[in-house]
Structure 1
C-alpha cells in the first residue's frame, strides 16, 4: 500500500490543480485546510488524524477525482500518543486520553519552520516537592538536523486532570522561548523554541528546558514517550527529603491502552533520587518510573 503522502502527491499531479485551487474547493465544502498543511501532507511531514482533517481527505478524493478510499485507505494506523512530546509542524492527535485539538492551537502559531531532525539523547530530571507534588521537569536534549536551515522547534506540554494548568516552559541555555500559545481549558501549552544558531544537515544543538508544573493531586509516576526513536534516554526523579517513597520501579508501555509492564525495582540513593536508563527508546513507547508512598 502507498504511503498517504505519496498517494496524495500522485493524485494532485494527475489532477493538474494547484494547492491554491484545491484549498478553494475545500473551502467551498466548508473545510478549512491551510496551504502549509496540504504541503506537509504531500511531503509526509504530517498526516491528517483529526475528524475535520479526515473529512478533508474524503473531500480530496472527490476533488482530485480518485477512487473512494484511495487516500483515506493509505493513512494506516494513528500515530503514537504520550504525555511529553516534541514534534515538528503538526501535533494533532498526540494525546489519546486528553483528546486535545492541537491542530487548532498550532494554527495560531503561524509561519513556523518544520523540524526535520531527531533527538540523539535526552535526559529528564523530575523534581518532587515536600508535599509529594511535582515541582518541575528539567530536560536536556541533544538534537540533530536532517536538513539545512533548522533554527527552531515546537514543544507541547499538557498535564494530568488533577493539575490546575499546563504550567510554564523556560529555556535555560543554548536556546530561547519564542511565541507561546496556551489553552487553559484543555491545559495545553505550545511553545516555539528558537535555537542559538541555524543548523545545517548533520549538525547538532543542545536544548536545556524547564517544564514548571502547576500540580494538583499527589504525584505517583513520571513518564515520557517520543515520536521518533531516541538512542539514549535517562529519566531521573529527585524527591524532597521529607517526601521519600517506600518503593520505586521502572515501567514501560508498548502503545496507548496497553497495560504497564514493570521493568524492575529502582534503588533510592542517599540523595533521595532514583533513575532509569533506556537504550534506544522506541517511538510511541512509554517509559517511566512509578513510586509508592506507603
Structure 2
C-alpha cells in the first residue's frame, strides 16, 4: 500500500490507541473484561478500531464503547464524543437495502413441515390479522428481556384452529414461549443454526368465516445477560394491517439519549422517522394505522 492509500487514523482511533497503551492491557485482556461485562467484542474488532481501519457504527458497538471507556479508566463519553453521528440504522442484519427482511426460506419450510404446516405460507390469508400489539421489555444494559404480543385475527375460511408463529431470534438462544391467553402451545421446532423458531398456537376453539379470535403470548429470553437487540425492535408486514401498536418499556429509562419511530413503506428507499418522548412509566409507544406492506419499528440510543 502506498502512502497516499494509507488511511489516516481518526481522532477516535488515536485516542483509543493511546488509552490502550496507557492502560498496559493487552487486547486479549480488554476483550476478556468486556466479555465479563456481557459485551461480546472480538479482538479483531478492537484492533481495527484502534488502527482506524474501522469504527463503531452499529448500536451494539456503540454500547460496547461505553463499557470500553470504563475498562480503560476514561471519563464517560471521552471516546464516544470523537465518533461522528451514527448513520440511520435501527434494523438487524437480515434487513436488506430494499427494506425486505431476508429469511432463510428453505430452513423455514423445513420447520413448517415439522410442525405439520407445510403449506402455512400459502394459506396465511385464511386468517386476517386485524390488530397487533407488541410490548417489548428492555432490561438494564439495553438488552431485550421479553416480548408480549396480543393479536386479533378474523377468519376468511371455516375451521381455523391455529396460528403458526415464526420468530427470528438471530444468533441468540431461542426464547421460552409462555403466558398464553385463548390459545395453547402445540408443536415447537427450533433451528439454532439459522436462528428460527416455529410454533403452533392452538386456539381454544376453531373459528369460522367472519369470526374473530384474540390471543396473547410472551416470549422470554434467557439471561441476564439478555440478547443484544441492537437498540431496535420492528415488525415487517407483508400484508396490510388495520392497527399496529408497539410499546417499548425500559428498565433504565434515565440512560436514554434519544428514541424514535421509523417506517419504510413497501419498496420505498426513504425512511420516515419521528422523535418519541418517554412517558411517566419509563416507556414509549408508536401506532401505525392501515399500514403495510412495509417495516415499522422503534429505535433508541
TM superposition score category, shorter chain reference: 0.5 to 0.7
**Residues 195 and 127 of structure 1: CA distance in aligned 2, closer, same or farther (over 3 Å):** same
The Cα offsets for residues 190-213 of structure 1, whole Å up to 9 and x where unpaired, read as: 000000111011000111011223
Q: Tell me if the contact between 2:237 and 2:292 (Cα under 8 Å) persists in the aligned partners.
A: yes
Structure 2 runs not aligned, ≥5 long: 1-90, 93-99
Aligned match for 1:223, one of 222, 226, 234: 234
Asked if 1:154 corresponds to 2:154, the answer is: no
1:92-103 to 2 correspondences below 5 Å: 95-96=101-102, 101-103=107-109
Q: Tell me the distance in 1 between the aligned counterparts of 2:148 and 2:191.
A: 22
Please state whether the residue corresponding to 2:142 is helix, strand or coil.
Answer: coil
- RMSD of equivalent CA atoms: 2.5
Asked if 1:104 corresponds to 2:110, the answer is: yes
Q: Tell me the distance in 1 between the aligned counterparts of 2:164 and 2:240.
A: 17
Please state whether the residue corresponding to 1:268 is helix, strand or coil.
Answer: coil
**Residues 197 and 169 of structure 1: CA distance in aligned 2, closer, same or farther (over 3 Å):** same
Aligned match for 2:217, one of 206, 209, 223: 209
1:54-65 to 2 correspondences below 5 Å: none
Please state whether the residue corresponding to 1:101 is helix, strand or coil.
Answer: helix
The Cα offsets for residues 93-112 of structure 1, whole Å up to 9 and x where unpaired, read as: x9416566211111212267
**Residues 194 and 260 of structure 1: CA distance in aligned 2, closer, same or farther (over 3 Å):** farther
Q: How many residues align?
A: 197
The TM-score with structure 2 as length reference comes to: 0.60
Structure index of larger Rg? 2
Aligned match for 2:295, one of 277, 286, 292: 286
Please state whether the residue corresponding to 2:114 is helix, strand or coil.
Answer: coil
Aligned match for 1:245, one of 256, 260, 269: 256
**Residues 121 and 260 of structure 1: CA distance in aligned 2, closer, same or farther (over 3 Å):** same
Q: Tell me the distance in 2 between the aligned counterparts of 1:137 and 1:100.
A: 26
**Residues 158 and 193 of structure 1: CA distance in aligned 2, closer, same or farther (over 3 Å):** same
Structure 1 runs not aligned, ≥5 long: 1-81, 84-93
Q: Tell me if the contact between 1:225 and 1:287 (Cα under 8 Å) persists in the aligned partners.
A: yes
- 2:196 aligns with 188
Q: Tell me the distance in 1 between the aligned counterparts of 2:229 and 2:209.
A: 44
1:185 Cα offset (Å): 1.2
**Residues 100 and 251 of structure 1: CA distance in aligned 2, closer, same or farther (over 3 Å):** farther
Q: Tell me if the contact between 2:264 and 2:272 (Cα under 8 Å) persists in the aligned partners.
A: no
The TM-score with structure 1 as length reference comes to: 0.61
